[in-house]
Amino acid sequence: MENSFDLYEAIEQQGSEITIPDHFPAIYFSEDNDVYCYIGIFLNDTQRDVRLHMNPYYMHGKHSTDKKFAAQIKGFFRIINGYIAIDRFIDNQYRDMKYKKIDAHIRFPLAAETYFGVLANREEDEMLTRAIFGSTYSELSSVIKGYAKILGTYNMYTQYPRITRSVRSMNYCDITDILIPEQFPYVTFNDSGYDFSHVSLWGFYRYFQLLINNSKTSQIGKAFLEADVSETVLEAMLRISDYPYYLSKVTKTIFNDE
Protein backbone atom coordinates (compact mmCIF):
# COMPACT_ATOMS: atom_id res chain seq x y z
CA MET A 1 0.00 0.00 0.00
CA GLU A 2 1.49 3.37 -0.98
CA ASN A 3 2.05 6.02 1.68
CA SER A 4 -1.39 7.61 1.88
CA PHE A 5 -1.56 9.02 5.41
CA ASP A 6 -1.29 12.63 4.21
CA LEU A 7 -4.04 12.14 1.62
CA TYR A 8 -6.75 12.02 4.30
CA GLU A 9 -7.82 15.31 5.82
CA ALA A 10 -8.47 14.50 9.45
CA ILE A 11 -7.08 15.33 12.87
CA GLU A 12 -4.00 13.35 13.82
CA GLN A 13 -4.08 11.65 17.20
CA GLN A 14 -1.77 9.34 19.04
CA GLY A 15 -3.26 5.95 19.76
CA SER A 16 -3.21 6.66 23.49
CA GLU A 17 -5.52 9.66 22.92
CA ILE A 18 -8.23 7.84 20.97
CA THR A 19 -11.37 6.79 22.82
CA ILE A 20 -14.26 4.44 22.03
CA PRO A 21 -16.43 6.15 19.38
CA ASP A 22 -20.11 6.96 19.75
CA HIS A 23 -20.94 4.92 16.66
CA PHE A 24 -19.63 1.92 14.75
CA PRO A 25 -18.34 1.22 12.14
CA ALA A 26 -15.32 3.42 12.80
CA ILE A 27 -12.33 3.52 10.46
CA TYR A 28 -8.84 4.60 11.52
CA PHE A 29 -5.80 4.95 9.28
CA SER A 30 -2.32 4.71 10.80
CA GLU A 31 0.83 6.52 9.77
CA ASP A 32 2.30 3.17 8.72
CA ASN A 33 -0.66 2.61 6.37
CA ASP A 34 -2.70 0.06 8.32
CA VAL A 35 -6.48 0.30 8.27
CA TYR A 36 -8.46 -0.43 11.43
CA CYS A 37 -12.17 -0.85 10.84
CA TYR A 38 -14.00 -1.55 14.09
CA ILE A 39 -17.64 -2.56 14.02
CA GLY A 40 -18.47 -3.34 17.62
CA ILE A 41 -17.35 -4.45 21.07
CA PHE A 42 -17.00 -8.10 22.05
CA LEU A 43 -18.38 -8.15 25.59
CA ASN A 44 -17.92 -10.95 28.10
CA ASP A 45 -21.64 -11.77 28.00
CA THR A 46 -21.82 -11.85 24.19
CA GLN A 47 -23.77 -14.89 22.97
CA ARG A 48 -23.78 -16.73 19.66
CA ASP A 49 -26.47 -14.38 18.33
CA VAL A 50 -23.91 -11.56 18.53
CA ARG A 51 -24.80 -8.19 17.09
CA LEU A 52 -21.63 -6.73 15.70
CA HIS A 53 -22.60 -3.12 16.32
CA MET A 54 -22.70 -3.65 20.08
CA ASN A 55 -21.59 -0.39 21.66
CA PRO A 56 -22.86 0.38 25.20
CA TYR A 57 -23.57 4.10 25.58
CA TYR A 58 -21.68 4.31 28.87
CA MET A 59 -18.43 3.41 27.08
CA HIS A 60 -18.67 6.23 24.54
CA GLY A 61 -15.68 8.55 24.81
CA LYS A 62 -13.93 6.25 27.28
CA HIS A 63 -10.69 4.32 26.95
CA SER A 64 -10.86 0.57 26.47
CA THR A 65 -8.15 0.31 29.13
CA ASP A 66 -10.30 2.07 31.73
CA LYS A 67 -10.50 -0.23 34.76
CA LYS A 68 -14.27 0.38 34.95
CA PHE A 69 -14.79 -1.31 31.57
CA ALA A 70 -11.71 -3.43 30.82
CA ALA A 71 -13.08 -6.45 32.67
CA GLN A 72 -16.26 -6.35 30.53
CA ILE A 73 -14.42 -6.25 27.20
CA LYS A 74 -12.98 -9.33 25.50
CA GLY A 75 -11.97 -7.33 22.46
CA PHE A 76 -13.30 -5.39 19.50
CA PHE A 77 -14.81 -6.74 16.29
CA ARG A 78 -12.68 -5.64 13.34
CA ILE A 79 -13.20 -6.21 9.61
CA ILE A 80 -10.02 -6.96 7.69
CA ASN A 81 -9.53 -8.67 4.32
CA GLY A 82 -13.15 -9.77 4.22
CA TYR A 83 -13.37 -11.48 7.60
CA ILE A 84 -14.35 -10.52 11.14
CA ALA A 85 -11.56 -10.68 13.70
CA ILE A 86 -11.12 -9.93 17.39
CA ASP A 87 -8.56 -7.24 18.09
CA ARG A 88 -7.61 -4.78 20.78
CA PHE A 89 -8.72 -1.18 20.37
CA ILE A 90 -6.18 1.36 19.12
CA ASP A 91 -5.62 2.88 22.56
CA ASN A 92 -4.43 -0.52 23.79
CA GLN A 93 -1.80 -1.39 21.21
CA TYR A 94 0.36 1.05 19.21
CA ARG A 95 -0.21 3.93 21.58
CA ASP A 96 2.54 6.25 20.32
CA MET A 97 1.66 5.88 16.65
CA LYS A 98 -0.38 8.57 14.90
CA TYR A 99 -3.82 7.81 13.50
CA LYS A 100 -6.58 9.58 11.62
CA LYS A 101 -10.27 8.76 11.99
CA ILE A 102 -11.53 8.60 8.41
CA ASP A 103 -14.83 10.22 7.47
CA ALA A 104 -16.08 7.38 5.28
CA HIS A 105 -19.20 5.25 5.00
CA ILE A 106 -19.18 1.48 4.67
CA ARG A 107 -21.75 0.35 2.15
CA PHE A 108 -23.00 -3.14 2.98
CA PRO A 109 -25.29 -5.03 0.59
CA LEU A 110 -28.96 -4.07 0.65
CA ALA A 111 -32.04 -6.24 0.22
CA ALA A 112 -32.11 -5.65 -3.54
CA GLU A 113 -28.42 -5.01 -4.19
CA THR A 114 -25.20 -6.90 -3.43
CA TYR A 115 -22.74 -4.03 -3.90
CA PHE A 116 -20.27 -3.40 -1.09
CA GLY A 117 -17.52 -0.83 -0.62
CA VAL A 118 -16.17 2.09 1.37
CA LEU A 119 -17.42 5.48 0.24
CA ALA A 120 -15.62 8.76 0.95
CA ASN A 121 -17.05 12.00 -0.47
CA ARG A 122 -19.68 9.86 -2.23
CA GLU A 123 -17.03 8.00 -4.22
CA GLU A 124 -15.56 4.59 -3.57
CA ASP A 125 -12.20 4.59 -1.84
CA GLU A 126 -10.70 1.48 -3.40
CA MET A 127 -7.72 1.34 -1.04
CA LEU A 128 -9.96 1.31 2.04
CA THR A 129 -12.35 -1.12 0.38
CA ARG A 130 -9.54 -3.60 -0.31
CA ALA A 131 -8.14 -3.25 3.21
CA ILE A 132 -11.53 -3.96 4.76
CA PHE A 133 -13.24 -6.33 2.32
CA GLY A 134 -10.13 -7.82 0.67
CA SER A 135 -11.18 -6.76 -2.82
CA THR A 136 -13.52 -4.31 -4.48
CA TYR A 137 -16.95 -5.39 -5.64
CA SER A 138 -15.93 -5.06 -9.29
CA GLU A 139 -12.78 -7.15 -8.79
CA LEU A 140 -14.61 -9.93 -7.00
CA SER A 141 -17.46 -9.84 -9.52
CA SER A 142 -14.98 -10.20 -12.39
CA VAL A 143 -13.29 -13.24 -10.83
CA ILE A 144 -16.60 -14.92 -9.96
CA LYS A 145 -17.95 -14.31 -13.45
CA GLY A 146 -14.77 -15.81 -14.91
CA TYR A 147 -15.10 -18.81 -12.61
CA ALA A 148 -18.69 -19.36 -13.73
CA LYS A 149 -17.64 -19.15 -17.39
CA ILE A 150 -14.94 -21.76 -16.82
CA LEU A 151 -17.45 -24.05 -15.09
CA GLY A 152 -20.11 -23.43 -17.71
CA THR A 153 -22.56 -22.12 -15.12
CA TYR A 154 -22.82 -18.59 -16.47
CA ASN A 155 -25.63 -17.23 -18.61
CA MET A 156 -27.66 -14.03 -18.86
CA TYR A 157 -30.33 -15.33 -16.43
CA THR A 158 -28.41 -16.90 -13.57
CA GLN A 159 -24.92 -17.53 -12.33
CA TYR A 160 -23.14 -19.74 -9.81
CA PRO A 161 -21.05 -18.79 -7.98
CA ARG A 162 -22.32 -15.29 -7.28
CA ILE A 163 -22.12 -12.60 -4.63
CA THR A 164 -25.02 -12.47 -2.20
CA ARG A 165 -25.98 -11.62 1.39
CA SER A 166 -28.46 -12.63 4.07
CA VAL A 167 -30.79 -9.82 5.07
CA ARG A 168 -31.91 -11.12 8.47
CA SER A 169 -29.64 -13.94 9.66
CA MET A 170 -25.99 -14.64 10.28
CA ASN A 171 -24.26 -17.69 8.87
CA TYR A 172 -20.90 -19.43 8.94
CA CYS A 173 -18.56 -20.17 6.04
CA ASP A 174 -18.82 -23.74 4.74
CA ILE A 175 -15.05 -23.77 4.12
CA THR A 176 -13.49 -21.85 7.02
CA ASP A 177 -16.30 -21.72 9.62
CA ILE A 178 -15.82 -17.93 9.74
CA LEU A 179 -18.79 -15.83 10.81
CA ILE A 180 -20.79 -14.18 8.01
CA PRO A 181 -22.90 -11.49 9.71
CA GLU A 182 -26.27 -10.44 8.41
CA GLN A 183 -26.03 -7.99 5.49
CA PHE A 184 -22.38 -8.95 5.01
CA PRO A 185 -21.35 -10.00 1.49
CA TYR A 186 -20.41 -13.60 0.78
CA VAL A 187 -20.15 -15.98 -2.16
CA THR A 188 -22.66 -18.73 -2.83
CA PHE A 189 -21.94 -21.75 -5.03
CA ASN A 190 -25.35 -23.35 -4.57
CA ASP A 191 -28.92 -22.83 -3.40
CA SER A 192 -29.40 -22.24 0.32
CA GLY A 193 -29.28 -25.45 2.33
CA TYR A 194 -26.79 -27.19 0.03
CA ASP A 195 -23.03 -27.58 0.33
CA PHE A 196 -21.03 -24.40 -0.21
CA SER A 197 -24.08 -22.16 -0.26
CA HIS A 198 -22.28 -19.91 2.25
CA VAL A 199 -18.64 -19.12 1.51
CA SER A 200 -17.13 -16.10 3.23
CA LEU A 201 -15.14 -13.56 1.26
CA TRP A 202 -12.01 -14.71 3.07
CA GLY A 203 -12.84 -18.35 2.39
CA PHE A 204 -13.26 -17.60 -1.31
CA TYR A 205 -9.99 -15.67 -1.53
CA ARG A 206 -8.00 -18.50 0.03
CA TYR A 207 -9.73 -21.12 -2.10
CA PHE A 208 -9.09 -19.06 -5.23
CA GLN A 209 -5.40 -18.62 -4.39
CA LEU A 210 -5.10 -22.38 -3.91
CA LEU A 211 -7.02 -23.06 -7.11
CA ILE A 212 -4.67 -21.06 -9.32
CA ASN A 213 -1.61 -22.19 -7.34
CA ASN A 214 -0.92 -18.58 -6.30
CA SER A 215 0.15 -17.78 -9.84
CA LYS A 216 -1.57 -16.02 -12.70
CA THR A 217 0.63 -18.04 -15.09
CA SER A 218 -0.57 -21.43 -13.85
CA GLN A 219 -2.87 -23.42 -16.11
CA ILE A 220 -5.92 -22.35 -14.11
CA GLY A 221 -4.63 -18.79 -13.90
CA LYS A 222 -4.41 -18.71 -17.69
CA ALA A 223 -7.96 -20.06 -17.88
CA PHE A 224 -9.17 -17.06 -15.88
CA LEU A 225 -7.30 -14.71 -18.20
CA GLU A 226 -9.02 -16.39 -21.15
CA ALA A 227 -12.33 -15.88 -19.31
CA ASP A 228 -11.77 -12.10 -19.45
CA VAL A 229 -10.36 -11.64 -15.94
CA SER A 230 -7.58 -9.08 -16.23
CA GLU A 231 -4.04 -9.60 -14.99
CA THR A 232 -4.50 -6.58 -12.73
CA VAL A 233 -7.47 -8.19 -11.00
CA LEU A 234 -5.69 -11.54 -10.63
CA GLU A 235 -2.68 -9.78 -9.11
CA ALA A 236 -4.95 -7.91 -6.68
CA MET A 237 -6.54 -11.19 -5.57
CA LEU A 238 -3.13 -12.78 -5.04
CA ARG A 239 -2.02 -9.89 -2.81
CA ILE A 240 -4.71 -10.66 -0.23
CA SER A 241 -2.77 -12.09 2.71
CA ASP A 242 -3.36 -13.47 6.17
CA TYR A 243 -1.68 -10.45 7.76
CA PRO A 244 -1.86 -9.73 10.65
CA TYR A 245 -1.35 -13.36 11.60
CA TYR A 246 -1.98 -12.97 15.32
CA LEU A 247 -5.65 -11.99 15.07
CA SER A 248 -8.34 -14.49 16.05
CA LYS A 249 -10.95 -14.90 13.34
CA VAL A 250 -14.54 -15.04 14.57
CA THR A 251 -15.88 -18.59 14.16
CA LYS A 252 -18.49 -20.65 15.99
CA THR A 253 -15.94 -21.75 18.56
CA ILE A 254 -14.95 -18.24 19.64
CA PHE A 255 -18.27 -17.86 21.47
CA ASN A 256 -17.73 -20.97 23.57
CA ASP A 257 -16.94 -20.45 27.22
CA GLU A 258 -13.25 -20.66 27.90
pLDDT at 49: 54
DSSP state of 247: P
Half-sphere exposure of 173 (CA within 13 A, CB side): 26
pLDDT at 168: 84
- The closest of 238, 240, 28, 189 to 118, measured between CA atoms, is 28
pTM of structure: 0.93
The 10s digit of each residue's pLDDT in 19-55 is 999 999 999 999 999 999 999 999 887 665 556 678 9
Q: Please calculate the CA angle 78-82-84 and round it to the nearest 5 degrees.
A: 35
Residues 79, 39 contacting (CB under 8 angstroms): yes
pLDDT at 47: 61
pLDDT at 252: 84
What sections of 152-218 are H helices per DSSP?
201-211
The 10s digit of each residue's pLDDT in 220-236 is 999 999 999 999 999 99
Q: Using CA atoms, how far apart are residues 192 and 208, in angstroms rounded to an integer?
A: 21
